[in-house]
Amino acid sequence: MFNVEKKDLTLGFMPLTDSAPVVVAHEMGLFEKWGLNVTLTKQNSWATLRDKLHSGVIDAAQMLAPMPIASNLGLYGQKSDVISPMIISRNGNGITLSTTLYKKVLSQRNNTKISMPFSANILRDEIAERKTENNKLTFAVVFPYSCHYYQFIDWLKRSNISLSDINLLFVPPSDMVPSMHSGDLDGFCVGGPWNAKAVREGVGVTGVTSSDLWQDSPEKVLGLMSDWQLNHPQTTQALILAIYESCQWLESIPNRFEAARLLSRAKYLDTHIDVIAPSLLGSCLTLNEASPRSVPSYNQFATLGDSGFNKPAHHCGQNIANSMQECGHITPQQRADLNIPAIYRKELYQEAIDKLNNFKT
């Protein structure tokens, strides 16, 4: 179908629940279907994934949606022309408070029930108290240029809490739950399976997801170097279509459970299906031994039969850039100079989808 310029590709991913589309594409033979032999390489940090993409050690990467913008601006790293021709997932993050903090908040409110999704308002008393004691509450996210970071700040801001009212750390995902056990963290905003893991272990309470905060906002995108795409136009299209079909496959609930099984393998998330399956099935674990909350779009990869879902529309990039400016990651000048259509390449996505439709007819 395609004359791919390069058959053997390496694609970097981070072991998170929303890596399902690339894992499924690999396991279900969708890359092969489109003439590609893709090796998935598990990464341990976003910085290393970024550097490997910039330097050509990997051909493609599943990236945080703000990362291509950060690369184009050279924020903490070499300025590089990274493009995104596809959105791989939307939603998927959650905010979890430590059980200790949650219980404290409950007692401050005379044990009146806290409804979910909860706002940061419930923390106001504790934040004020801890601030005067010079012992601020400590939260963590994984990476600065991430939707987790912007969503968490937004969640605080909606309750008139500023970043200076708390401590915010950057901690690797695998260290989030242990740090909550040790009492080093009072809360975090991360992707799956880490929220569910904290709840299962009885150490955390998940009260908000990104679907509650920014409904269907892009979370992970396909990242390529601009030059690489120019030299491999057909390969790019094959890659887009393989992942697109994988996202469509993931729309069925029975398939979601199978995806959870695949993800739990040692070469992917290396974690029990108990903590991977819930979010994929639209279930948000809240408190240990309490009923989960139904969040159907907790992990969203596609809309059945609608190719628009995975299109990297310019307004998606503009919204992220606005968040980056609001929290001071970029200056108004950088924001003004930013050329989103050169980064979020919806036309590349559309060309691939048009080919697919031609094949069908």
Partner 1 sequence: MKKNTLSLSNNNHIHEHPVKLKVLLAENNHKKANALMNILENTDYDIYHIAHSGVPLLKDVEQLNPDVIIIDIESPDRDMLENLNQIYQLAPKPIVVFSEQQNTCTTVNQMVKSGVSAYVVGEVNQERVKSIVDIAIARFGLFQGLKQELADTKQKLSSQKNIEKAKRWLMDTKQLSETDAYHFIRKIAMDNSQKMDDVAKNILSVASIL
Residue 171 DSSP code: -
Determine if 192 is a binding residue for partner 1 (CB under 8 A): no
The one segment of 70-78, 82-90, 265-273, 331-339 that binds partner 1 by CB under 8 A: 70-78
Is residue 11 near partner 1 by the rule CB under 8 A? no
Type of residue found at 75: L
For residue 173, give Cα distances in angstroms to 61, 166, 249, 355. 18, 20, 27, 38
29 binds partner 1 (CB under 8 A): no
Exactly one of 171, 276, 338, 353 binds partner 1 (CB under 8 A); that residue is 171
With 0-12 / 13-18 / 19 or more C-beta atoms within 10 angstroms meaning exposed / middle / buried, residue 355 is middle
Among residues 57 and 342, whose Cβ is nearest to partner 1?
57
Q: Check residue 172 for interaction with partner 1 (CB under 8 A).
A: yes
Rounded Cα distance between 310 and 316, Å, is 11
Task: Count CB neighbours of 19 within 10 A.
Answer: 22
Contact (CB, 8 A) for 132 and 220: no
Nearer CB in complex with partner 1: 68/144: 144
- Measuring CA to CA, which residue among 50, 43, 56, 68 is closest to residue 9? 56
**Which of 198, 200, 222 has the alpha carbon at shortest distance from 94?**
198
173 binds partner 1 (CB under 8 A): yes
How near is the Cβ of 31 to partner 1 at its closest, in Å? 23
- Dihedral of CA atoms 262, 266, 270, 275 in degrees, nearest 10, equals 30
Stretch that binds partner 1, among 72-80, 107-115, 297-305, 306-314 (CB under 8 A): 72-80
Using the contact rule CB under 8 A, the part of the chain among 54-62, 122-130, 270-278, 307-315 near partner 1 is: 54-62
Asked if 70 contacts 145 with a C-beta cutoff of 8 angstroms, the reply is: yes
Q: Provide DSSP, 221-242.
A: EEEEEHHHHHH-HHHHHHHHHH
Minimum CB–partner distance for residue 190 and partner 1 (Å) = 12
Q: Is 55 in the site for partner 1 (CB under 8 A)?
A: yes
The answer to the question of residue 185 lying near partner 1 (CB under 8 A) is yes
Among 179, 206, 210, 323, indicate the residue that binds partner 1 (CB under 8 A): 179
Tell me if 144 contacts partner 1 by CB under 8 A. Answer: yes
Q: Which region among 71-79, 125-133, 195-203, 235-243 touches partner 1 (by CB under 8 A)? A: 71-79
**Is 44 a binder of partner 1 (CB under 8 A)?**
yes
Binding site for partner 1 (CB under 8 A): 44-48, 50-52, 54-57, 76-78, 80, 140, 142-144, 167-175, 178-179, 182, 184-185
